A = this chain, B = another copy of it.
Amino acid sequence: MSGPTPTPPQTLLQIVKSCDNFQLGARTEKVVPWLLSPSPCSAAVGLLRPEIVEQLRKEAQSSPSPSWYFGSDEAGKQWVSFADGIKTPSARSRVMKDLCERWRDTGLWPDEISPRKWRNELYPVYRNPFGPRDFPGENEDAHGDSLNYAFRMERAASGLFGIVTFGVHMTVYEEVEDGSDPSYNIWVPRRAATKQTWPGYLDNSVAGGIEAGLGVFDCVVKESMEEASIPEDVVRRYARPTGSVSYFFQTPRGWLQPEVEYVYELSLPPNSGVQPQPLDGEVESFELLPLKKVVELMRAGLFKYNCAVVIVDFMVRKGIITPDNEPDYQEIVTRLHGRFDYDRWAS
């Protein structure tokens, strides 16, 4: 059977740390903030590694009207931004579209942005990643600079630019009365062996990235059908939001992925007859597993990195992990809700 190889059991904190594994300033490679406009006070929307900065420099040098600006101040602080003329959402989105398609077609960073890795999903980029998820609609420039929305870009390039990405994760479970304490059986999918990312790994019951313009709950509804064949009326009736997790992930190749996952749960009533089933080919199969078994598989490294933290969050919320039974409780809880050192991105 294809899929990941088990590792020696990890603690819950180790699981969280392998997902929240990047800290700004605590490494040797110098990353440069990506700002919206040439002013150093402009909003930081991403973090660029040296090889990306170098490539953008090349592109700017070979163009008669460069799309990029390279700033630095007396203190040696550097930044990269869109060039002065690129100041509307649609202009920024166009620059990113041309750039990403060119990088895809010329084979730069093929592990990230090759035709095979291309997602064909446009992710929104916000001035403030913790602010409103607004969207101007089809006419991107209709609201000028009054929205938090700044532009959109191809999902596959998000790690190359270190932008904050947003997704949903929903745990679908059945509650079992087991003496005085409730226990939980959780629907666990295995990712298809053909997935571009994390093939064969275990996943959260329903999960997906939120494309520009889609509401968060609408995304849950959409993914529930596409990935798990759960009918819309069941989701609308039983699903509920319970918070979010956020963590700063650096991929094995060094790309930066600060992520926010809005967390939902769907408690299926006993004998509901609803069973998650694969639909769009992204998932190979679903299995209903006792939480205890899920934790075992998680500790053996068989879950996709960020699904494990969603399950840890579930266990905190349900009182399975407690301040009295888990020595790393407070570090786990705070690391599930990281701010990405965001105040330091541009300063």
Interface CB pairs A-B, < 8 A, 10: A130-B334, A131-B331, A132-B328, A242-B316, A242-B318, A242-B319, A244-B329, A262-B323, A334-B337, A337-B337
Is A143 in the interface zone, CB < 8 Å from B? no
Chain B residues with CB below 8 A from A324, complex form? 133, 215-217
B23 adjacent to A330 (CB under 8 Å): no
Residues of A within 8 A of B (CB): 23, 129-134, 180, 215-217, 237, 240-244, 246, 260, 262, 316-319, 322-324, 327-331, 333-339, 343
Once A180-B237, A262-B323 are accepted as A-B contacts, the answer to whether A328 and B131 lie under 8 Å apart by CB is yes
Copies in the complex: 2
Chain B residues with CB below 8 A from A131, complex form? 327-328, 330-331
Q: Determine which of B133, B262, B322 lies in contact with A216 in the assembled complex, contact meaning CB atoms within 8 Å.
A: B322
Chain B residues with CB below 8 A from A241, complex form? 316, 319, 322-323
Q: Determine which of B242, B262, B317, B330 lies in contact with A129 in the assembled complex, contact meaning CB atoms within 8 Å.
A: B330
Q: Across the interface, name the chain B residue whose C-beta is closest to A133.
A: B323
A328 vs B244: C-alpha distance in the bound complex, in angstroms? 13
A243 adjacent to B316 (CB under 8 Å): yes
Chain B residues with CB below 8 A from A327, complex form? 131-134
A215 vs B128: C-alpha distance in the bound complex, in angstroms? 40
Q: How far is the CB of A247 from chain B (nearest CB, A)?
A: 11
Q: Determine which of B23, B317, B337, B339 lies in contact with A242 in the assembled complex, contact meaning CB atoms within 8 Å.
A: B317
A338 vs B328: C-alpha distance in the bound complex, in angstroms? 16
Chain B residues with CB below 8 A from A319, complex form? 240-242
Chain B residues with CB below 8 A from A328, complex form? 130-132
Chain B residues with CB below 8 A from A243, complex form? 316-317, 333
Q: How far is the CB of A59 from chain B (nearest CB, A)?
A: 32
A133 vs B325: C-alpha distance in the bound complex, in angstroms? 10
Besides A129-B330, A130-B331, 14 other A-B contacts (C-beta < 8 A): A23-B343, A131-B330, A131-B331, A133-B323, A180-B237, A216-B322, A216-B323, A217-B323, A241-B316, A244-B333, A246-B333, A262-B323, A334-B337, A334-B339
